[in-house]
Structure 1
Amino acid sequence: MDSFRLLMKSMKGNKLLYVGAILSVALATAFTLAGPLVISFSIDSVIGDNPMELPIWIEKAVNSIGGRDTLVQNLWICSIALIVLTMGRGLFIYLRGKWSAIASESIAKNIREEVYDHLQHLSYEYHVKAETGDLIQRCTSDIETIRRFFAVQFVEIGNAIFMVTLVLSILLSLNVKLTLIAMAVVPIIFVAAIVFFIKMRNAFQKSDEAEGRLSNVLQENLTGIRVVRAFARQQYEIDKFDEKNVEFRDLTYRLIKLLAWYWALSDLACLLQIGAVLVFGAYWAAKGEISLGILVVFTTYEGMLLWPIRQMGRVLADFGKMVVSLKRVTEIVNEPLEITDENLLKPEIKGDIEFKDVYFEYEKDRPILKDVSFNIKQGQTVAILGPTGSGKSTLVHLLGRLYDYQKGSIKIDGIELREIDKKWIRKNVGIILQEPFLYSKNIKENIRIAWKDAPDSQVYEAAQIASIHDVILDFEKGYETLVGERGVTLSGGQKQRVAIARTIINDYPVLVFDDSLSAVDTETDANIRKALKMRKEKTTTFIISHRISTLSEADIILVLDGGELAQSGTHEELISQQGLYRRIWDIQNSLEEELLIGSKTV
């Protein structure tokens, strides 16, 4: 979706409001321009002796109240006319502001919803790589820049067009020579505005990107503040933030300098232009070539003429900002959505799983899994062991279709995984991630994330299976205890157990523990696995762990090394043969013996 299409889609339902705002601009301009003409008429034809030169319908109105003599005797009528014109101008300026504000807020709301909805449907891979701080900046600051342009500057374009067209036509009808003098600097200001727009757009893009980098540093710091404090890295983080802050300040300062130069030079040009009109107009008025009223009209209209043209520099500058922000927002919307097909199969998932020669890579020619093959029967518990980077998490992520394999075959209950709807498979494969994320809600609400209408009894049962129920009851507010952002009020093990309860509240036929038992003690680990078996014996369970005591009770153990399936079998089979599993088992056994001897010595 390109920027124009995104704008058109977001303006749906608001176009009439902008039509009304532009019409209000036209009428406000007309009322504004009528004021100086009333003053000129009063000076030349009411107070002075010049003949009335009025449009026919106005002349008829004046004659109907007694003509010029009545106006001479009742100057207050001209004052009332000015008041009415001013009130009319104020009314239409109010309507312009109201309608453009409503429309711009609605546009910003629509863009936010479009972007947020799009983000929810982007692939898992995109979110793994994206910088959160930059995304937040695009969804807030950039959209606010778009809103400001459509709230203020968009209608200013209409104001400038109407003002210049009407003023120029009126001035030409009054005096051509003085009009040419009044328009002398207009082309210069217009060219300067275009040059300013080009420089401003480039400068704003650099400033906006710098703000995104600054936001990302801030977001990372606040998210990892406990790590910063734990390693006493405050000064390092301050220096890193200061570096990005200085970069943002310097680039923004360049914007301010551009604005200062433009406004200073355009102010000088406008003042010289007004001075020229006053000098030539006064000279010709003294010679009797123009009336005093016409001089008043010219000096008044000159400011009205130059201001919107000068203002075009700001309009173009804000337009440049808007274009940059819209481009950054559109980049998100242009990201391809995760490929889904509602017509794919939605079979009953039981839990028979077959991997056959599965190959997967994140980057070309850098395989993570190479020709992995194994068979799992429904209800079996599968343990996965392997060094860091061996492909353990990738393997279970393929099972939930967070990624799709490039070669080979994965079948569930005899059906190729690619033929099963992604949303459906994720409703049947529960994954408890290695790093649990908890929302800033109470514990009960966090457990209900996967089943928002779950009865309390189900919440309590899930918590009991996750060995967290008794811990929660010890809290002062029990299940109403607020977790805090990212679960900071809970220990690592408590967070993982709440995340386990959140997943197992649904009866998934396939359950995956992605090293999610690592933060709990051995006894709690055993209790959770025992409770899961008692709850539903037909659940196919995958457990990634480095703890042999956890792995040893599995029906089958898969040992991954370098992306390949190095070993597979039961605990007894694997410890009877040389390999990675036996080495880890020997190391953990020796450590336990040393700890046992040490405790006896103490």
Structure 2
Amino acid sequence: MAGKTKTVSAESGKTLQTIVNLWPYMWPSERPDLKLRVVWATFFLVISKIVLLAVPYFFKWSTDALNGKIDTSGILPLFMAGAVTLVVSYNIARIAQAGLNQLRDALFASVGQYAVRQLAYKTFVHLHKLSLRFHLERRTGGLSRVIERGTKGIETIVRFTILNSVPTLLEFVLTAAIFWWGYGFSYLAVTAVTVIVYIWFTVRASDWRISIRRSMNDSDTEANTKAIDSLLNFETVKYFGNEDMEASRFDQSMARYEKSATQVWTSLGWLNFGQAVIFGVGTLVMMIMSAMAVQRGDQTIGDFVFINAMLIQLAIPLNFIGFVYREIRQGLTDIEQMFDLLEVDAEIEDAPDAKPLVVGHGAISFKDVYFAYDPARPILKGLSFDVPAGHTVAVVGPSGAGKSTISRLLYRFYDVQSGAITIDGQDVRGVTQRSLRSAIGMVPQDTVLFNDTIAYNIRYGRPGASENEVRHAAEIAQIDRFIQSLPEGYKSMVGERGLKLSGGEKQRVAIARTILKSPPILILDEATSALDTRTEQEIQTALDEVSKDRTTLVIAHRLSTVVNADKIIVLRDGGIAEQGTHSELLAQNGLYAQMWNRQREATEVEEQLKKVRETDELGVVVRGKPAGE
């Protein structure tokens, strides 16, 4: 992974720091309306806790009223001291408490979803800022799963941290105070011991489950990665008949997920059982104490019922605090990798004083450029050449000579290790990436399209272009007639990665969107490699027309496409072996001449084979002519 990472891990003792990092999402300073919603949601939650604690009192007073021993100590007015009135008040309090909780959730819903949206957006933007090196080393399926789990984890943490942790602690404190004030220190002591042991057990058991959860997440990511990778390479799988192998690889990952998921649910069962035992013992002790006090006459039946009701109510937040802790810890585990992504430094960043690129004529210059993807394997070794404004310069050479690397460096997907690349005298490292890339148009060798309409993919070159401009670009790229022949025309879907189109059709779409972009600088990276000879000639004519008055860098393997270039540069082993016009290079009888002769011989052989096939097909037709004709 490129760049430095600072892992925010649930196991590294940085849980508090992670909560601090999440605070801007829980308390969005840029949205006062949402902050007000948080305040009101918290207010109604606290009120609901107070109302909740009043419910057992109404139950106690109702029981004593029915038993003829009611004593509200002046807390209630006389008109509310009747048994029926107290029963009604008891149920009204329960309904009010439920209503306040729902009002809290409704108020906070937009806050939680806004937090999810903001973090997802921030992660998405950050991923686009990372270098090409990072994305080449990552797997798309695993990356999408990390983001999916991370956003869900954020929603869980934001909701539980703000709306449950502090109010639940408040409920513990109030419950303990009521027991102490109403029934003495012994009840407080039993409550405190029960809660402390319960929380200790919950924390220890939840920490144990974290490692199991992480293993399940890893297996889930691996299975999803294999599935997406296999589906993206659907045709390759079919070519080699490896459906069974792909299914087996996926099933192996799912088997590991199955094992981990089973352990997750089994461990949850043990956790819940342990919690039930601890709280059950605490409840047993307190109920025995209260029952004995009733027999002595120190408490009423209402007190016994009251203590039981308080314990039942205490069980809910106790169980919920365990749930909250588990969810927060699991949420931290889920977003751990997302925060890792956010902490990855972008390899290519704009300089603090970067200015927009000012393109006058569009002259390009490579000055003693050294570059290597891996220090042990240099690619470019002191490369120097110029592309004068408005001229077409072609770069050719054997595979691995560094041709495509030139376009990546010009686009600043990578930075050179030494030397400089300039456009109109401006070092590309000193201008903003956005302005640099907006000035360059690219027709790549491997065209990948969005799974959308043909019109969308062409308009991607200039999103604000009109329908007529899109059609005009398609006409220049020699693809308008094909599009018109489709049932849905420009609204036809191209499929995942453009798989519904042929290689030549995809490349012509790429040419059309570059034409629509109309940049001052063009890069044609094997722009006609997927086309047949006839179509290549048609497209080449269109490209020659588009290249007029534009600075054009052509990266080619097929030499017939660059014979009209103003200059041809022949690369070998990261340096310039030869340069000149097509005729000049042939006259030198060097590397370019050898490449030209080999390609010409291959073309002649291909044409002869084509004629043979046509002759054979004609012979079959003649020999198969019906008698009498």
Alignment-derived partner of residue 159 in structure 2: 151
Given candidates 288, 293, 298, the residue that maps to 1:289 is: 298
Contact 1:6 1:330 in 2 (8 A): no
CA distance in 2, matches of 1:519, 1:600: 22
* CA deviation after TM superposition for structure 1 residue 344, in Å: 1.9
Indicate whether 1:8 and 2:23 are aligned: yes
Question: CA separation of 1:180/1:354 partners in 2, compared to 1, >3 Å: closer, same or farther?
Answer: closer
| Match among 129, 132, 138 for residue 140 of structure 2 | 132
Distance in 2, matches of 1:408 and 1:172, equals 78
Does 2:490 align with 1:470?
Answer: no
1:138-180: CA deviations, max 9, x gaps?
A: 2222211221333356523234212211111111122223443
What is aligned with 2:603? 592
> Is 1:351–1:379's contact at 8 Å kept on the other side of the alignment?
yes
Q: Distance in 2 between matches of 1:387 and 1:248?
A: 46
SS of 1:401's equivalent?
coil
Go from structure 1 to structure 2 and tell me whether the alpha carbon gap of 1:42 and 1:240 turns closer, same or farther (over 3 Å shift): same
Deviation at 1:261, TM superposition (A): 0.9
In the alignment, which of 430, 439, 451 is matched to residue 440 of structure 1? 451
Classify the secondary structure of the residue corresponding to 1:378.
coil
Deviation at 1:389, TM superposition (A): 2.3
* Structure 2 CA distance for partners of 1:108 and 1:475, relative to 1, 3 Å: same
3-state DSSP class of the match of 2:441?
Answer: strand
Asked if 1:42 corresponds to 2:57, the answer is no
Aligned partners of 1:25 and 1:158 also within 8 Å: no
- Aligned residue in 2 for 1:339: 349
Aligned match of 1:106:
114
C-alpha distance in 2 between matches for 1:162 and 1:148 = 21
**1:196 and 2:205 are equivalent in the alignment:** yes
Distance change (3 Å), C-alpha of 1:254 and 1:411: same
Aligned residue runs from structure 1 range 351-390, under 5 A: 351-390=362-401
Question: What is the Cα deviation at residue 600 of structure 1?
Answer: 5.2
Distance 1:436 1:4 in 2: 43
Q: What is the CA deviation profile of residues 16-71 of structure 1, one whole-angstrom value per residue up to 9, with x for unaligned ones?
A: 4333333323222222221221222233356333654244xx3xx22xx4xxxx84
Tell me which residue corresponds to 2:177: 169
Residue 259 of structure 2 aligns with an amino acid whose one-letter code is: D
Deviates more, 1:588-597 or 1:225-234: 588-597
Structure 1 CA distance, aligned partners of 2:610 and 2:527?
A: 29
Aligned to 1:397: 408
| Structure 1, 385-394 or 332-341: larger mean CA deviation | 332-341
Are the counterparts in 1 of residues 61 and 71 from structure 2 also a CA contact under 8 Å?
no
| Correspondence 1:222 to 2:246 | no
1:500 is displaced (CA, Å) by 0.8
For 2:103, the equivalent position in structure 1 comes to 95
**Which moved further from structure 2: 574-583 or 223-232?**
574-583
1:308-323 to 2 correspondences below 5 Å: 308-323=317-332
Residue of structure 2 equivalent to 1:83: 91
Q: Please, which runs of 5 or more residues in structure 1 have no aligned partner?
A: none
d(CA) in 1 for partners of 2:58, 2:389: 91
- The alpha carbon displacement at 1:371 in A equals 0.7
Question: C-alpha offsets along residues 441-469 of structure 1, whole Å, 9 cap, x if unaligned?
Answer: 22222111121232334323322222212
CA contact (8 A) 2:150 2:336 kept: no
**Offset of residue 593 of structure 1:** 2.9
The residue that corresponds to 1:32 in the other structure is 52
Q: CA shift at 1:113, angstroms? A: 1.8
Matched with 1:543 is 554
- The match for 1:304 among 298, 313, 327 is 313
Corresponding position of 2:519: 508
- 1:362 is paired with a residue of what secondary structure? coil
Task: Confirm or deny that 1:556 pairs with 2:567.
Answer: yes
CA distance in 1, matches of 2:607, 2:123: 57
| Distance change (3 Å), C-alpha of 1:565 and 1:37 | same
Which of 174, 189, 194 is residue 185 of structure 1 equivalent to?
Answer: 194
The answer (yes or no) to whether the contact 1:44–1:50 under 8 Å persists in 2 is: yes
What displacement does 1:96 show?
A: 2.2
Distance 1:589 1:536, change over 3 A: closer
**1:209 CA displacement:** 3.0
| Distance of aligned partners of 1:542 and 1:367 in 2 relative to their CA distance in 1, 3 Å threshold | same
CA–CA distance in structure 2, aligned partners of residues 40 and 245 of structure 1: 54
Q: Do the aligned partners of 1:356 and 1:410 also contact (CA within 8 Å) in 2?
A: yes
Moved more, 552-561 or 487-496: 552-561
SS of 2:460's equivalent in the other structure is: helix
Q: Match of 1:116? A: 124
**One of 488, 497, 510 as aligned partner of 2:508:** 497
1:17 correspondence with 2:37: yes
SS in 2 for 1:356: strand
TM-score by length of 2: 0.88
What is the aligned partner in structure 2 of residue 257 from structure 1? Answer: 266
- Give how far 1:230 is off: 2.0
CA–CA distance in 1 between the matches of 2:181 and 2:38?
31
Counterpart among 541, 546, 553 of residue 530 in structure 1: 541
Supply the distance in 1 between the matched residues of 2:142 and 2:52 (Cα, whole angstroms): 45
The answer on whether the counterparts of 2:123 and 2:341 sit within 8 Å (CA) in structure 1 is: yes
Counterparts of 1:413 and 1:182, CA distance in 2? 78
Is this contact kept in 2: 1:42–1:78, CA < 8 A?
yes
Distance 2:63 2:572 in 1: 97
The structure-2 alpha-carbon separation of the partners of 1:51 and 1:7, relative to structure 1 and needing over 3 Å to count, comes to closer
Q: Counterpart of 1:467 in structure 2: which amino acid?
A: Q
Alignment check: 8 A CA contact 1:558 1:565 kept: yes
392 and 285 in structure 1: CA distance in 2 versus 1, 3 angstrom threshold: same
Unaligned runs of 5+ in 2: 1-5, 7-16, 616-629
One-letter amino acid of the structure 1 residue matched with residue 24 of structure 2:
K
The amino acid that maps onto 1:572 is S
Per-residue CA deviations over 1:560-600 (Å, capped at 9, x if unaligned) read: 22222222222223334454433322222222333344455
SS of structure 2 residue aligned to 1:370? strand
CA contact (8 A) 1:349 1:412 kept: no
CA contact 1:25–1:96 (8 Å) conserved in 2: yes
Q: Give deviations 1:87-113, integer Å, cap 9, x for gaps.
A: 221221112222233321121122112
What residue identity is the alignment partner of 1:22?
A: T
Q: TM-score, normalised by structure 1?
A: 0.91
Q: Aligned residue pairs: how many?
A: 590
The offset of 1:185, in angstroms, is 2.7
What amino acid maps onto 1:321 in structure 2?
Q
State the secondary structure of the residue aligned to 2:490: helix
Native 8 Å contact 2:451 2:497 kept in 1: yes
- Deviations 1:520-543, CA, capped at 9 Å, x for gaps: 112222222222333452112222
Q: SS at 1:367's partner residue?
A: coil
Q: Over aligned residue pairs, what C-alpha RMSD do you find?
A: 2.4
When structure 1 is superposed on structure 2, of 366-375 and 320-329 the one drifting more is 320-329
- Contact kept, 8 Å, 2:444 with 2:525, in 1: the verdict is yes
Distance 2:433 2:181 in 1: 71
Shift in CA distance, 225/54, structure 1 to aligned 2, threshold 3 Å? farther
Amino acid of the residue matched to residue 102 of structure 2?
Y
Kept after mapping to 1: 8 A contact 2:528/2:539 = no
Residue pair 1:210, 1:248 contacting (<8 A) in 2 also? yes
SS where residue 185 of structure 1 aligns? helix
